[in-house]
Amino acid sequence: MTEQPTVQQAPDSGPVPSEPFPTYYRATAEHAAGMVEVIHAAFGARPPLDPPSTADAETPATVSAALAQGTGVYATVAGRPAGAIIIERAQDEGDGRTGVLRRVSVHPDFQRHGIASAMVIEAELLAAELGCVRLELFARSEFPELIGYWQRRGFTIARQAPYGVILARPLPRRIVVPTADDMSALGAALARRLRAGDVIIATGDLGAGKTTLTQGIGEGLGAAGPIISPTFVLSRIHHSTNGRPDLVHVDAYRLSSADELEDLDLEDSLDHSVTVVEWGENVAEVLSPDRLEITVLRSADPTDETRTVLITGVGDRWAEDDLDELDLEAMARD
């Protein structure tokens, strides 16, 4: 996301919708007044609290100052202020890699349109760009349904706080990969940490580099045979030539549900192989509660080979400390 609006979420064709679609921005000082309007409206519509929220004390100056130290997300609908999130670094004695979401707000006129969820996705990417590896936010105990919303988004209660709880979740590790060779090298470096039973779900546009990453993983595992996109076969098994786990390479592009994935009988090989599922988002999560979720993002410039790779560890197998030890940026330069 840039300081210019992202592509509007409108259909490609068909009749003009009756309601405008939201536009999302990387927030800057020029958006501060609109963000304050949203914050005041959203927090003002909540039931009275004791002690009361301090949101009504926000001004364009305070929001601008916060954005200067961190970043944020701003949403509009037909030019009207619709949503706001401020992202700051935690001011504590930690490692400086905790991002804090503040003033998460959707204007009452635009609630229940999916704006909050879309802004949170953008906020996670922006926090990763700041170098954060985890996100935290405060939620009042008077709003259990709000706490439940954040828990459905992968946050867990990290600790109690006065009048509420602190919720937290790990962020994807962000790696800039300049070339296809570097993408393959990243895959090979990841392979050194893989073991039998590991599952990787790889997501990204056509041509983003998912198969190149898988080729690097295969190289690191000593997988036999050429590793190509298994689009028409759906899955291929590449046996290891050096005693490492076999590689099972799956393409879920044409699969619409986890039930269709089960028809591939992957459970027969899961325990003694490394399974990589391209296009597996929202389909392959059932394979294992412990997995790596990898998203490959292309540059907006079609001539630019640079890719941004986001890696998220899910489950005890990929505990946060384990991913920290990977030193992925160094591995990408191997």
> What are 84-101's pLDDT values in tens digits?
999 998 876 567 789 999
The b/e string for 252-273 (b: 16+ C-beta within 10 A; e otherwise) is beebeeeeebeebebeebbeeb
Mean pLDDT, rounded, for 267-272:
87
Q: What is the mean pLDDT of residues 236-242?
A: 93
**The pLDDT of residue 241 is above 80:** yes
Mean pLDDT of the 158-170 span: 94
22-170, CATH topology level: Aminopeptidase (3.40.630)
Four-point Cα dihedral 82, 87, 91, 94, nearest 10: 140
Q: What is the model's pTM?
A: 0.65
pLDDT band at 222 (very low <50, low <70, confident <90, very high): very high
pLDDT at residue 269 is higher than 50: yes
Mean pLDDT, the chain, rounded, equals 85
Instruction: Note the pLDDT of residue 196.
Output: 95
pLDDT above 80 (res 3) = no
Structure confidence by residue, pLDDT tens digits, 279-332: 888 788 888 888 999 989 888 788 899 998 888 888 888 865 566 565 554 454
Share of the chain above pLDDT 70, in %: 87
Q: Which of 51, 55, 53 lies closest to 37 in space, CA to CA?
A: 55
pLDDT at 271 over 80: yes
Pick the CATH number of 173-331 from 3.40.50.300, 3.30.365.10, 2.10.60.10, 3.40.50.360: 3.40.50.300
Distance of CA 140 to the CA centre of its chain: 25
Q: What is the pLDDT of residue 233?
A: 63
* CA pseudo-torsion sign 22, 142, 162, 314: negative
Domain ranges of the chain: 22-170, 173-331
* CB within 8 Å of 24: residues ≥ 6 apart: 1, 5, 6, 73, 74, 75, 83, 118, 119, 122
pLDDT band at 5 (very low <50, low <70, confident <90, very high): very low
Is the pLDDT confidence value at 263 over 90?
Answer: no
Distance, CA of 46 to CA of 114 (rounded, Å):
19
CA distance 49 to 162: 13
On whether the CB atoms of residues 223 and 238 are closer than 8 A, the answer is yes
Residue 186 confidence (pLDDT) = 93
DSSP line for 121-139: HHHHHHHHHTT-SEEEEEE
Residue 327's pLDDT is 52
pLDDT at 173 over 90: no
